[in-house]
Amino acid sequence: MEEFGKVIEAGGSGIIISSQSGHRLGALPPKETNQLAMTPTEELLDLPFLKAIQDTLKAYQYSKRCNVLRVMAEAAKWGKRGATVNSISPGIVITPLAKDELNGPRKEGYRKMLSLSPAGRAGTPDEIGDLAEFLMSHKGRFISGSDILIDGGTTASYWFGDLQYLKETH
């Protein structure tokens, strides 16, 4: 993203795919937020608070939050070139990987999460593509540095609804 931002032309647009998982972290201290957004890529893994993470799920959540924050930081630079950059944070989308998860050893947990989400289902690749198309079109020109959470309300339910039980297991 940083390298592409150096050559993007006016009117150009970029999309970074993140994940709903980044939205499952609580608020981070301002210093950590700034470091995730601004530390040179090759130095990120040297940050002490990241080195201290032992849980693989927590590491994944931090990586996805990092994507969102880096998009925000890059948007300021891309804007000077007349371009936009945003991130999309999908929930479970029916892909080969999701099909494996929905039929694998953790299938009951995934299926319960989907059934208790406000949408009551997984998303489709076309729904993600439609959002990306909008963001990259003339209709999305005023949107830059944003993250769009597209998960059928699963994250809303994680924090405030029927999926709050997941906070206890994560």
- Confirm whether 139 is a catalytic residue: no
> Would you say the pTM of this structure is higher than 0.85?
yes
Domain boundaries, the chain: 2-169
Taking only the tens place, the pLDDT of each residue in 74-131 is 999 999 999 999 999 999 999 998 899 899 998 998 899 999 999 999 999 999 999 9
Determine the pLDDT at residue 170.
59
Catalytic member of 6, 58, 62, 64: 64
Helix intervals (H) in the chain: 2-5, 30-38, 48-51, 56-80, 96-103, 107-116, 125-136, 154-160, 165-169
Catalytic member of 58, 60, 110, 112: 60
- Confirm whether 64 is a catalytic residue: yes
pLDDT at residue 168 greater than cutoff 80: no
| CATH domain 2-169 topology | Rossmann fold (3.40.50)
pLDDT at residue 24 greater than cutoff 70: yes
